[in-house]
Structure 1
Amino acid sequence: MPASFHARILTLFFSDLLLLASLVYCDFPASLTLERAFPVNQRVELGELRARDRARHGRILQGSGGVVDLPVNGAYDPYLVGLYFTKVKLGSPAREFYVQIDTGSDVLWVTCSPCNGCPKSSGLEIELNFFDPASSSTASLIPCSDARCSVAVQTADSDCSSRNNQCTYSFQYGDGSGTSGYYVSDMLYFDTILGDSQIANSSASIVFGCSNYQSGDLMKPDRAVDGIFGFGQRDLSVISQLASRGISPKVFSHCLKGEGSGGGILVLGEIVEPGIVYSPLVASQYVFLR
C-alpha cells in the first residue's frame, strides 16, 4: 500500500447533543492515529459534555451572525388553541403583534387599519392590535418601482397596482382562508443571542404585509391573532431578509410542546438543547407541519 492516497472520507463528529456529518477530500497517510476527546474508559459528567458542546456551538454561531430568539405560545390541541403563535414588535414607536407561526408560507403580515372583516377581539386572551403605517415614523410604503416589489411579484401571490403605485399581495391558505393588502417597510425589534449567550436588543428594517382584508378562519374571533409569520425560503421571508444582512443564519429551529401549557422554543438560527432532533430541509421545497 502506498504511503498516502487520495480518498473520500465521511467523518462523523459525536457529542451529547448532535451528530454532524461532513464529506471531505484529502490526502492522508496510510497509518492514522485517532484520539478521543474523552477516553472510552473514563467517566465523563454530562455537564462537561454539555459545556464542551455549547462552546463549540458558540464558535459556530459567532461566525454566522447572532441567533434571534422568539417567544412561543399556543398548543396543537384544537379544543384548547389549535395553533402556535409568537410575538413581534414593529414600527416606531414599537407595538406588539401576535402572529401565527406558519411553515407553509413566506411573508410576515399583520392586520392594518382599516381592515375589512378583521376580528377586533380574541378568545386566546391576547389584545389584538392594528398596525397603522401613518402612525409610525419609520414606516414607508413599497411602490411599484421598488426592487423589493419586483422580488414579490415574481410569485403568483403578489402584484403591482398601477392605480395607486402600491405593491400588493393576495394570499390563500390551505384551510380556505385568505388575506390581501399591501407591502410596507418598517422596523422589526428582536432579541439577539450572541455566541457567548449574552442577549442584545436589536432591530432591522424589513418588508412585511399590511392586511386590509381577511376571510375564512382568519375572521373567527375564538382563535384570532394579529397576522401570520411565514417561515418559507423565498426572499421576502423575514429569515431571508435578516440572513441577507448577516444578522442571523438562514436557518430556523423550533421545538413545539404538545402537552401541558404548550408553547416551546423558536429561534432564527440553531437550537443548542439536548433532546432536539434535526431534520434537513430539501432545497426549493416546503415542509408542511401537521
Structure 2
Amino acid sequence: MAASRFLPVFLALVSAFISVPPSEANGGALHFRLVHRSQLEGARGDGEVDAFRRLDDITRRDQLRQKHIAETLRSPRRKAIESSFEAPILSGAYSGAGEYFVKLKIGSPARDYLLVADTGSDLTWTKCQEGVTVASSIGRRRATEACVPSSSFAPYKCSTDSCESLPFSTTVCPTPQSPCLYDYRYADGSFTKGTYGNDTVLVTAPDGSVTPIRDVLVGRSSDFQGVIFDKTDGVLGLGFSPISFAITTAQLYGGKFSYCLVDHLNRRDSNYLVFGNNSRASQLNIRYATLVLDSMIQPYYGIEVDGISMDGKMLPIPPAVWKFVFKEDSIAGGVIIDSGMTLTSLVKPAYDVVMSAFRSYFKDFPTFTQQPFDLCFNVTQLSPEQAKRAGPNLAWHFSGGAKFTPHIGSYVTVVAPNLKCIAIVPAAWPGISIIGNIHQQKYLWEFDLANG
C-alpha cells in the first residue's frame, strides 16, 4: 500500500467569495459557474419537486452512496501553468437529486454538456449513443442531433498498457486495434459503459477568451442507467486520482482547485469551481487543514479531524473514530469530504454523542422523528422564545488548529415547509464519517495539491 500523503486544504467564508464579481478575478484563472439545478428546472418550466419526495430521493441515494463507499473502502481498487480558470456549479436540490452540476464544452466541434461535479468520481464521461437522439439537459429540454463524432477524440486501444491500467477497463479486446472499453459503477447502483479516449475541453475565462485543454481523459458512454443521468449529460470526475479531471487540470494550473457550494434552498445563488490561483481567496480568512490522500481511500479526499465541539465545548467523542486505520481489507475510522453525498454522516459512536448534545439543546422543544432524521420540530409549534433560538454552534476541529464552523442552517435544516431537522445521519462502525455537500455550503474549499 502506498504511504499516506498529507496536503493542505483551505477553508474560507463564501460571503466574501461572492462579493467579488467574476470580472475582477485573475484573467488567467479557469472559472466554472455554479448554479442551482432549480434554475435549470425553471428554465425548462418544470414544477418544484414535492419537499418530502425530494427528501426521500436524496435519502435513498445517500444511503446507497454511503453503502457503496463503505464497500469500496473494504476492497479498494488496485488498479504546470501558473494561471487558473473557473466554471459554474449547479445545485440539484430541486430536481430530487442532491448533486451539484457544471457546464463544460467538450470535443471538436465543441458541444455543451451539463455534468455532475463529483469529488467521489475519477472518470469524466459524457453520453454518446451513436445514431440516438439525445435530449439536452441544459436549459429547456430540446431535441439535439444524434451523438456527433468528435474529431479530437482519440480512443485508447484495448491492447495497450494504458488501457489495462485504467480503472474499470474491461478485458474485451477482439483485436489489438479495438477500443478500450469501461464498465463504471456508481454508489446508487447506476452505471455507465463506453469507450476511453482523450479529447479536448474548451474553457472560457472571465475576459471571454477561450482556452483548449487537450488530451483530457474522457469516456464516451454508449450505455448508462440511473435516474440522475436522465437529467444530466454525464459526470465530471473531481476525485483524487491520476485520471480525474480535477487532478490533471490542477497540474496545469498551479496544482490547485477550489469550489464553493451554493445554498441548496436559494434559487438565485451561484458560485464557481476554480482551477489555479483563486484571487478571491487572498481576501479571506484562510484556515489550513490536512488532507489524507492514500491509495486505500482513492478517489476520496480524507481530512484529519481532532473532534467536534458544540457552543465551545468539546464533545466526548472517542478519538478512534477520527483516525484512519488502514487494514489489509478494510478501513476503520477517518473522515472524507464528498460533494456527491448530500447529508453529513457520522459513525455511530460519534453520532450518538453529537445527537445527545442536540437533544440537550432542544430539550424544551416539541421534537419528533421524521425518517431519516432522529430529531425534528415544527416551527409553527414553537413559543416566541424558542423561535429566537436558531440552534447551537457546531464546530469541526481539524488537525493543525483549523476550525470549521458550518452555518447553522446546514445542520438545523429546513426539510419541508415549517419543518426543521438535524440533518446528520448515522453510519456504521467500524467505518468512516462523511462531510456532505449541505454541510460544506457557503465555504470556499481550496485543495492545494502542489504545496503540501
TM class by shorter-chain length? 0.5 to 0.7
Structure 2 match to 1:187: 200
Aligned counterparts of 2:141 and 2:285: Cα–Cα separation in 1: 29
Which amino acid is the alignment partner of residue 251 of structure 1? K
Structure 2 match to 1:143: 157
Structure index of larger Rg: 1
1:77 Cα deviation from its structure 2 partner: 4.9
Correspondent of 2:291 among 266, 281, 284: 281
- Per-residue deviation, residues 97-143 of structure 1 (Å, max 9, x unmatched): 11111110111100002389x97365974557678463x22222211
SS at match of 1:71: strand
1:84 Cα deviation from its structure 2 partner: 1.5
Structure 1 match to 2:122: 106
1:78 Cα deviation from its structure 2 partner: 5.4
Aligned counterparts of 2:146 and 2:124: Cα–Cα separation in 1: 13
Aligned counterparts of 1:257 and 1:100: Cα–Cα separation in 2: 15
Provide structure 2 residue ranges, at least 5 long, that are not aligned to the other structure. 1-11, 31-79, 301-336, 340-435, 437-452
Identity rate of aligned residues, in percent? Answer: 26
Aligned counterparts of 1:73 and 1:168: Cα–Cα separation in 2: 30
1:73 Cα deviation from its structure 2 partner: 2.4
Q: Does 1:72 align with 2:61?
A: no
Structure 2 match to 1:202: 211
Which amino acid is the alignment partner of residue 260 of structure 1? N
Correspondent of 1:237 among 210, 221, 244: 244
Aligned length: 224
TM-score (norm 1): 0.63
Cα pair 2:238 2:247 within 8 Å, conserved: no
1:91 Cα deviation from its structure 2 partner: 1.4
- Per-residue deviation, residues 159-200 of structure 1 (Å, max 9, x unmatched): 24212522111121112211111112221111357xxxx664
More helix by share: 2
SS at match of 1:204: strand
The 3 A distance-change label for structure 1 pair 68 and 128 is farther
- Per-residue deviation, residues 47-67 of structure 1 (Å, max 9, x unmatched): xxx9xxx99x999x9x85221
SS at match of 2:243: coil
Backbone CA RMSD of aligned residues: 3.8
Aligned counterparts of 1:276 and 1:176: Cα–Cα separation in 2: 40
Correspondent of 1:120 among 128, 131, 135: 135
1:248 Cα deviation from its structure 2 partner: 1.4
Structure 1 match to 2:411: none
Structure 1 match to 2:106: 90
Cα pair 1:113 1:130 within 8 Å, conserved: no
Cα pair 1:106 1:234 within 8 Å, conserved: yes
SS at match of 2:174: coil
Alignment of 1:218-257 (within 5 A): 218-219=228-229, 221=230, 224-244=231-251, 247-257=252-262
Q: Does 1:264 align with 2:275?
A: no
Cα pair 1:111 1:130 within 8 Å, conserved: no
Cα pair 2:262 2:271 within 8 Å, conserved: yes
TM-score (norm 2): 0.43
Aligned counterparts of 1:95 and 1:132: Cα–Cα separation in 2: 10
Cα pair 2:134 2:145 within 8 Å, conserved: no
The 3 A distance-change label for structure 1 pair 186 and 133 is farther
Aligned counterparts of 1:253 and 1:167: Cα–Cα separation in 2: 32
SS at match of 2:158: coil
Aligned counterparts of 2:146 and 2:136: Cα–Cα separation in 1: 15
Correspondent of 2:174 among 160, 163, 180: 163
SS at match of 1:242: helix
Aligned counterparts of 2:161 and 2:247: Cα–Cα separation in 1: 16
Aligned counterparts of 2:151 and 2:137: Cα–Cα separation in 1: 28
